[in-house]
Amino acid sequence: MIGGGTVGGGVYEILMGNSGSNTALLPRLKQRRCIITKICVKSLSKPRSFHLDSSISSLVTDVSSILEDDSIELIVEVMGGTTEAKTVVLEALRRGKSVVTANKALIAEHMEEIESILKEHPESRFAYEAAVCGGIPIIQILQSCYAGDVIHQVMGVLNGTTNYCIDKMEHGSDLESALLEAQDLGFAEADPTADIEGYDIRAKIAILSKLAFGVTVSAVESIPCQGISGLKPADFEYAKLLNCSIKILGTAGRMSRFAQYDGALSVYVSPVMIPNTHVLAAAKGIGNCVAVHSTNMGICSFTGPGGGRFPAANSIVADIIRLANGTPANPFPLQSDIDIDNDYTAAFYIRIPFIDSIGIIRAVGELAEASDVSIHSILQNPIVDRLEADFCVITEECKLSQVKAFCDLLEEESDFCRAHPVYMPMLWEND
């Protein structure tokens, strides 16, 4: 195992319980027992959150002592990052070792290279259940359970930190306070940028889009990605008026509000206005939820803990057992040449921060027309401060590029818009 932190400790405790005898897991280990013989860590003196059975397992600091050990058949990578971890994972596969990892950023950024090495070294196996949604077996589900179906859309609450913060903001907290609380509880990293700006979700939805549609997003940075840093209390006030909740979702789909179609695939990350009756609105706290819309099954949802020591470790151990039993899933079972077009179509919520004056609604309508955006409705709470007010526009279905152009015009060409508008797609109850 490479890495001996929180999740790695959980893996060790589950797999090596009862002094490595695997007593509790023996009924599931039908072919071979699994023993962790070496754990590569940065420091031998650092206290560990698990009891190491030194008669079976040893700590090392040189990863080559694991990679070059021919008696080791499988490597668990839980060190994180995309530099040294990439070297370890790719070299292990080239040497004919199997790899289990929870590293979603590594998989998303280097998926094509991983696939290429697996083709060159068919004796190597690769499994990554813990990379998306922690304890929810969504990877295994998409790898095998939709073999006779056609998926139209996958979307989900894929990050527990942002979901926790949004829940707090929905009840009156500001983002900074919610984030500090999440950090105190151990839900958020010291540097939460990857969570708050949506980068963590971006990597996860790139993986899910590959599993659902067979398409590799060759440049993960090309996925449109909005985090939650722009959300304000006014957004949650308007959500209540619309009988909605706000969730940040990763979405991959070939679907519009009015039709299922066989066009290009759209993959994106954004806060979304969701009806309170929608299955994804039920995801609370650090929980995750994935909704899969397919031809045969309609909408199916999968919920559970999105991370944490034992949920993530449980998924890793499940991968280890499948590999030990000789029943691993094909890591990337679908291959397709579907085009990617991330200029997705949706109805949009747009909050416009404004300084009150005469003729604002007329000017908004003219700028919307210039951007080829049709307005469905306008909502405005009573104005308390004429210099710092907000109202929102709900559009008919239009493209992301049209909404961006509309918001740019509002900021650049109006004398009432005091900041760049905040926009997010809206879901309808049948989406």
**Catalytic residue positions?**
204
Max Cα–Cα distance, the chain, nearest Å: 80
Strand partners, 404: none
Distance, in Å, from the CA atom of 270 to the CA atom of 227, rounded to the nearest integer, reads 6
- Please report how the helices 160-170 and 233-241 are oriented relative to each other, as an axis angle in degrees rounded to 10: 80
Encoded tokens for 404 = 């961006």
Distance, in Å, from the CA atom of 376 to the CA atom of 374, rounded to the nearest integer, reads 6
Encoded tokens for 281 = 């609105």
Encoded tokens for 241 = 């008026």
Phi, psi (degrees; rounded to nearest 5) at 24: -70, -25
Going by their DSSP bridges, the two strands 298-305 and 287-294 should be labelled as: antiparallel
HSE at residue 402, side-chain half, CA atoms within 13 A, is 20
Region for residue 373 given its phi and psi (left: phi exceeds 0; alpha: psi -120 to 50; beta: otherwise): beta
Distance, in Å, from the CA atom of 276 to the CA atom of 282, rounded to the nearest integer, reads 8
Who's near 63: CB < 8 A, 6+ residues apart? 2, 40, 84, 88
Report the candidate in 258, 273, 401, 256 with the shortest Cα–Cα distance to residue 349. Answer: 273
Strand partners, 180: none
Query: Taking CA 350 as the corner, what is the angle to CA 303 and CA 429, rounded to the nearest 5 degrees?
Result: 40
Report the candidate in 318, 337, 336 with the shortest Cα–Cα distance to residue 328. Answer: 318
For 103-234, strand residue ranges (E) read 126-127, 151-157
Distance, in Å, from the CA atom of 54 to the CA atom of 37, rounded to the nearest integer, reads 9
